[in-house]
Structure 1
Amino acid sequence: MNILFITDNFPPEVNAPATRTYEHCKEWVGEGHEVTVITCAPNFPQGKVYEGYQNNWHEKEEVDCIEVIRVWSYITSNEGFLKRTLDYFSFAVTSFWSGLFQKSDIIIATSPQFFTTWSGWALSKFKGKPWVFEVRDLWPESIKTVGALEDGVVYNILESIELFLYRSADKVIPVTDAFKKNLSDRGISPSKQLVIPNGSNLELFDLNASDGGAVREELGLNNKFIIGYVGTHGMAHNLDFILECAGEIEDPDTHFLFIGDGSEKENLLKIADEEQLKNVTFVDPIPKNKVPDYLDAVDVSLVPLKKSDTFKTVIPSKIFEAASMELPILLGVEGQAQEIIKEYEAGICFEPENKDDFLEKLSLLKQDKKLYKSASQNGAKLAKAYDRKMLAQKMLNELKKIAENKL
């Protein structure tokens, strides 16, 4: 089977969409299928093309037997609705043009930027092939949640297009049950949907193969109780609230480690400097294969989001990475993510944007050795239940059925 996958993010980018797509495609290639990924020059989250790449009209490379085609797009930092829209729309146009010339038995297009799915839909119509909408984010609802778009004519138009694309797809693959319910409540048949959640890469995130000691030594954080955040520093992640909490902590042994980049990074650095926070360290983005070492260096994995009904539908991929490393999770996300942490008892949850609750739960994880050990051990159970290999195979089986039914 020839699988054509349209995605705005792909390695060497290290965000959740890039990682999920790469790991799924790698498994499918291992099963003997031909996989072509159309993406753009790596630039997320800084909005700058990575060293060694160029923003050309059309370039090919092979990544672990996956054919990767990088097309031109208008690249900008994650600032301003109009610029980001132009960025996303330009990729939809160039990925569509490139896709016309690629072999495909089935087409997959993934959000969170749903202009990518416009390309998937159009290619399906021109090539007469089935297409799958992978829903990683409820867009445009999520951008309204972080204040980047308001209710009005533009929002209503985008939502109408969103619903049209769901209906036109041969299959919709949401990454959470809450996404599925949201879509079902808005008229998308549950039978048309198949939930394939994010999962754990048990090969990469191997506690026995990582070296957190060297990271602690390098950062000068030996003998500290480290709360680590690895990921995008964006508007949705509420890291300014975490810095506010850090400023309240007098315990000299407690330290916060933020790893990554994003639209809010400069603002966070400014806050830390102005408040003279001595218990906070910022590290630039690291390669994906180094993430296990950094997670092994921390004592608690921090997973926060803004307080919003929209984010109750989200399951951050950070949960699975931390669980694979048997790392207790301090979760500031309500809804389905909270349900998973509580089900497996793999960490402890605080109410988003509640400073007192955050400080209390953090202190509990640090002081209660029995709770800490239990959460650590239960993380391994959570990781195995969400094994990425198993989930990739489940998705592949569904793709086979869709392609066969269209013959």
Structure 2
Amino acid sequence: MAIRVLLMTQWFDPEPTFKGLVFARELVSQGFDVEVVTGFPNYPGGKIYPGYKMRMLQKEMIDGVNVTRVPLYPSHDKSKFGRILNYCSFSISLILYSLFCKRPDVIYSYHPPLTVGVGAAIIGLCRRVPVVNDVQDMWPDTLRSTGMISNKSVLSVVGSVCAWVYKRSTKIVVLSPGFKTLLIERDVPSEKIEIIYNWCAEDYVSQSQDLNKPVFKVNNKFRVLFAGNMGRAQALDVVLHAARIVSTKVPTIEFVFLGGGLEVDNLKRLAQELELNNVEFFPPVPMGMVGSYLSSADALLVHLKKDELFRITIPSKTQAYMAAGRPLLMAVDGDAADLVKLSGSGLVAESGNANSIAEAVIQLFNTPTDERHAMGQNGVSYYEKNLSMERGVEKFGSLFKSLVKH
């Protein structure tokens, strides 16, 4: 019989997510019996998506994947109380459903938020099922770094809950070597931790490139694109200051911001205050259109605020940028910068340093076209060999099978 995997994630398609439908669908194609337990789609706006209505339970089939949606409090605004209620309500619903659904052979838990890991640990304990906890954000570090929580006592409690979740996990999957090192420093046994790099939504990237439809005005602009969430962690005010420096030196360079997030309005105000005429904002677009924007840009920018946590983080957009075949401008220190250097897929700038970012942008602009093209192809090649969904899901599949055998 097929191994039954209960995939627990608060966010799932049609919400933007990195381990969503493409992951579940690939597991099904590898012969696993997959059920996804998730919430009603409301991220990132905090409003239930059109076509969905909150109810006690909703089951649907998406591309051969069984999806079960459980109720939650929809919220994703600046209210800390609303965010906490959002996380906790989903965790409670997740536990109540999973206690009585068909017993899985393996539980996969996507973190963040931590509350999903708590629910998975409880179900794993009650139903005697191995739990694989996929840690994408290191809590409480991320909460402190993004400013969501600053109270030391609360952060200490979150840290204690994390330690309990890690202890209850059969295996912990992390996205970078730095994450593994940090967990080992926190007394998690090395043999419990597996490094599996993230991949991107490859079908969306390749599909939208095939459409070959222009998404920008046809002119002589050299476009540097940032695509994705614009929150505190991204610290994009630094990039706007870099844009101001660039505007006086190379007026034909344009910075494009694609997406949504809590800081979008603040960034737009700052751009007006700085009187920037080389910056353009685009609203979020469906996943199927993102690749068209990536492939139409001349360079793709990654930036996170300067923080020790982000030195061990590889932002998920990195993989999509590589797969899109455009040169990267990596303004994240540590593991992410090392990845770009190793792959030869672009240039590196210092995070949080507007002058460094501006210099790297201008250097990339002055790089011959064939060399920029080679950077893009280096990224594609490295992605396919080391970071692709096929490679990643193969590793997850092997991990699930090894746990069931035991």
TM value normalised by structure 1: 0.94
- Give CA deviations for 1:199-222 in whole Å, capped at 9, x if unaligned: 245444338943455212xxx253
Q: Secondary structure of 1:43's partner? A: coil
Residue of structure 1 in register with 2:172 after alignment: 172
- Equivalent positions of 1:1-400 (< 5 A) are 1-14=3-16, 18-103=17-102, 104-206=104-206, 209-211=209-211, 213-216=213-216, 220-248=217-245, 249-250=247-248, 251-369=250-368, 371-385=371-385, 386-400=387-401
Q: Secondary structure of 2:143's partner? A: helix
Distance between the aligned counterparts of 2:346 and 2:383, measured in 1? Answer: 13
Residue 235 of structure 1 deviates from its aligned partner by: 0.8
- Give CA deviations for 1:166-197 in whole Å, capped at 9, x if unaligned: 01111111121111111011100110111111
AA of the residue aligned to 1:390:
R
Distance between the aligned counterparts of 1:208 and 1:27, measured in 2? Answer: 20
Q: Which moved more, 1:137-146 or 1:270-279?
A: 270-279
AA of the residue aligned to 1:353:
G
Contact 1:11 1:19 in 2 (8 A): no
Unmatched 5+ residue regions in structure 1?
none
Residue 63 of structure 1 deviates from its aligned partner by: 1.2
- Give CA deviations for 1:243-301 in whole Å, capped at 9, x if unaligned: 12212313332111111111111211222233332222211111111111111111100
Residue of structure 2 in register with 1:403 after alignment: 404
Residue 139 of structure 1 deviates from its aligned partner by: 1.2
- CA shift in 2, pair 1:40/1:357, >3 Å: same
Distance between the aligned counterparts of 1:208 and 1:145, measured in 2? Answer: 34
The alignment of Structure 1 onto Structure 2 pairs a total of residues equal to 399
Residue 41 of structure 1 deviates from its aligned partner by: 1.5
Contact 1:312 1:333 in 2 (8 A): yes
Distance between the aligned counterparts of 1:313 and 1:126, measured in 2? Answer: 34
Contact 2:209 2:295 in 1 (8 A): no
Distance between the aligned counterparts of 2:52 and 2:265, measured in 1? Answer: 25
Unmatched 5+ residue regions in structure 2?
none
Contact 1:330 1:347 in 2 (8 A): yes
Distance between the aligned counterparts of 2:243 and 2:331, measured in 1? Answer: 15
CA RMSD of aligned residues (A): 1.7
Contact 2:204 2:289 in 1 (8 A): no
Q: Secondary structure of 1:214's partner? A: coil
Identity %: 28
Q: Secondary structure of 2:195's partner? A: coil
- CA shift in 2, pair 1:178/1:380, >3 Å: same
AA of the residue aligned to 1:120:
A
Contact 1:365 1:371 in 2 (8 A): no
Residue 27 of structure 1 deviates from its aligned partner by: 0.9
AA of the residue aligned to 1:226:
R
Residue 83 of structure 1 deviates from its aligned partner by: 2.1
Distance between the aligned counterparts of 1:244 and 1:330, measured in 2? Answer: 16
AA of the residue aligned to 1:230:
A
AA of the residue aligned to 2:338:
E
